[in-house]
Amino acid sequence: MSESYKILFEGKTAEIVEKKSRFISYMLPVESADEAMEFVEKIKKQNWDARHNCYAFVIGQNNELQKFSDDGEPGGTAGKPMLDVLLGEGIHNCIVVVTRYFGGVLLGTGGLVRAYSKAVKEGINASIIKEKVFGEELNITTDYNGIGKIQYIISEMGIKIHEEEYTEVVTVNLKIRKSDCDRFVNRITEATAGKAIVNDREECWFLEEA
């Protein structure tokens, strides 16, 4: 199992022009085929006067759900190339719809493939892509003498603290990559002479923030 994969976090709109035809790409994060198709219908209604509204989507950690449509373009010139871009970029849980307003000049099959592929790439470039990471959520308690040492290790390893609470003791909640968990726990145990206690360790997927 891969320890991480990329997802569409926030979709944007982008546009290219090829021989007077406008290709407008719309991207949206989705978690189900129903969500994806609702978005397709929304874009079709929005662009009711367009010649074509082609789409492709990939959903799931292992791309379990995939679908595409040429929406009247010659077979294999729109939807499949759009899907290939998503798969090639390794982006999961997203749909892209590319609306074409015909400009009066035929592009040919090769030109269509290039145009639809380019439109999707521009949509990806305009959007926000984040990485989802497999790891563990840890809840740690320590005394006030130990928190400084733990914070130093956290900073050194590039870990993000989710929450800190200061009462009679200090409680720290954080999420960490699976491959770093044991090394981190060993380091804080050694640094605090065993006074830092890991109360819970629960496997999870989380967004790794920059």
Give the domain CATH number at 108. Answer: 3.30.230.30
Same domain, 25 and 121: yes
Give pLDDT, residue 210: 54
Quote the distance between the C-alpha of residue 72 and its chain's center. Answer: 29
In angstroms, rounded to a whole number, what is the distance separating the alpha carbons of residues 180 and 159?
Answer: 10
Same domain, 122 and 157: no
Same domain, 26 and 122: yes
Same domain, 173 and 70: no
| CATH number of the domain where residue 154 is located | 3.30.70.240
Residues 6+ apart with CB under 8 A from 132: 4, 5, 6, 7, 92, 205, 206, 207, 208
Give pLDDT, residue 26: 98
Give pLDDT, residue 208: 78
Same domain, 16 and 109: yes
Same domain, 120 and 152: no
Same domain, 105 and 31: yes
**pTM for the model:** 0.84
Same domain, 163 and 199: yes
Same domain, 58 and 86: yes
Q: In order along the chain (210 residues), what is the average pLDDT of each group of 10 residues?
A: 88 96 97 97 97 96 95 96 97 97 94 97 96 94 94 92 92 94 95 92 84
In angstroms, rounded to a whole number, what is the distance separating the alpha carbons of residues 26 and 16?
Answer: 12
Cβ atoms of 131 and 97 closer than 8 Å: no
Q: Which domain holds residue 50?
A: 4-126
Let me know if 155 is exposed, middle or buried by CB neighbors in 10 A (0-12, 13-18, 19+).
Answer: exposed
Same domain, 143 and 87: no
User: How many domains, the chain?
Assistant: 2
Same domain, 101 and 147: no
Cβ atoms of 45 and 61 closer than 8 Å: no
